[in-house]
Each structure stands twice: as C-alpha cells, then as structure tokens.
Amino acid sequence: METSFRDGIATVRFDDGKANALDVGWFTRLDAALDEVEAAEARALVLAGRDGMFSAGLNLKILPGMSGPEFIAFFEQFSRLVLRLHGLGLPTVAALTGHAIAGGAILAYACDMRCMTAGPYRLQLNETAIGMPLPAWMLMVAQSVVPRHLEARALLHAEAFSAEAALAENLIDDIEVDPASTIARAERMARDLAERLSPAAYAATKARLRGPAIRAALDGLAADLATLR
C-alpha cells in the first residue's frame, strides 16, 4: 500500500498483485494511511486499486481457521475501518480500477464519489450469494449510495453491475477507459471537491449527515457481528 500527495490531494493505492484481498494487515495499513492523510491535512483522498482489481473483498481463506473471538475481532476491525472512512472529514473518491466485490464494494460505497474502469469488471455486494448475511452497518453504508428502487437487486439479490450499468443506476459517478485514466479522473474529481468546498463546512456537514448513523452502528456493532457466524 502506497500513499502519495500532490497539490493537497492524497492517493492511497493498494496492489498485492492478486485480488487485493482484505485481511488484518491490510486493515492496519489503511488505518495508518488514514492517520497519515489526516496528519498531513490533505484536502481530499483517493483510494485506488491495481490494474483490473480494486478489491475482491475480505480474504475468506483465512476465516475457517479462526477461533470465535478471532473471527469477531477480524470483522470488528474491518467494520470500524470502513465506518471511519465513511465519516472521514474530507472528500473521498474511489478509483475502481477493476472489480470491486463484497468488501471491496463496501469500501467504494463508503467514499463520497466513485469512478470505474470500463471493461469486464463488476461492482457487486455478493454476500447473500456466498452465505453471509449483510450486517446492519454495511447496509447503512450501502444505502447511502444505492437508490431505494435498486435495494432488492443490489443488496438482497447480489446483482453484479458493469461500469455502464452502475453509472446508469447512479452507483458510480463516471467511467474511464483504463485504470490509469480512472485514477487520474478520480484525482480530478477529488481536486474539484477540495477547491469548491469549505473544508470546515464540509467536515461539519458530513459529521451531521453521517455521524448519528455511524455512532448507532458502532453502538450496535457487537450484536451486529454476533449474527455473522
């Protein structure tokens, strides 16, 4: 995971050469990157994956070997990280440089805006198809983006959306032809938000808009996570 800064815009890019699967090490690195971004007083943040893959979500291969407490701790760390991103006090843009599936999709939905690469890629919350009920906090984050008429398809039926379909349904804000162009476009989107908006007014409004739901999600996290296993 690499963090770079240009003209006050922070870009955090993750590339494991594979599926960008999310695990405890990844959670810790992104949490540290967010600390760095806030300490640098960046004006906006872009999250970007590698060519062909934003993230395929949580590393499910490691879950069967976890004890009950380890399983809960794993999901709690992920939950708190995404909720932190969702409430971050600066504009956030996801550069979907390829597939954004399950946990990768919820990372995208936690951001303010999304730009996606055209091609054979999908944006999908597939949890109900793989036997995992979506926790309440994840539904809250997704519903901040997913239009009400689309909730059954996107949240219950695990429908996969191409970039074109996602744009038509307002799940994303723009499409680019390749990953490099997607990142560049996301950085322009972030810069536009940073230049147009008052940082203090943005942060205060975001806290009022999302803060109550985030606090409620955190308060109910233990009960929420207990339903996952």
Q: Which two tokens stand for residue 147?
A: 């239009």
pLDDT at 228: 76
- What's the chain's Rg over C-alpha atoms? 16
The pLDDT-based confidence of 226 (bands split at 50, 70, 90) is confident
Angle between helices 68-86 and 24-39 (to 10 degrees): 30
Dmax (CA) for the chain in angstroms is 48
Question: Looking at residue 102, what DSSP letter applies?
Answer: T
Q: What is the C-alpha separation between 10 and 92, in angstroms, rounded?
A: 10
Structural domain of residue 215, as residue ranges?
Answer: 2-225
SS3 77: helix
The mean per-residue pLDDT over the stretch 187-216 comes to 98
Could you give the CA distance from residue 73 to residue 187 in angstroms, rounded to a whole number?
Answer: 33
CATH code: domain of residue 66: 3.90.226.10
> Is the CB of residue 55 less than 8 Å from the CB of residue 101?
yes
Residues 6+ apart with CB under 8 A from 124: 100, 101, 102, 105, 158, 159, 160, 161
Please give the Cα distance from 60 to 62 (Å, whole number).
5
Express each pLDDT in 107-135 by its tens digit. Answer: 999 999 999 999 999 999 999 999 999 99
Q: Mind listing the pLDDT tens digit for each residue in 150-183? A: 999 999 999 999 999 999 999 999 999 999 999 9
Specify the number of domains making up the chain: 1
Tokens of 200: 């203090």
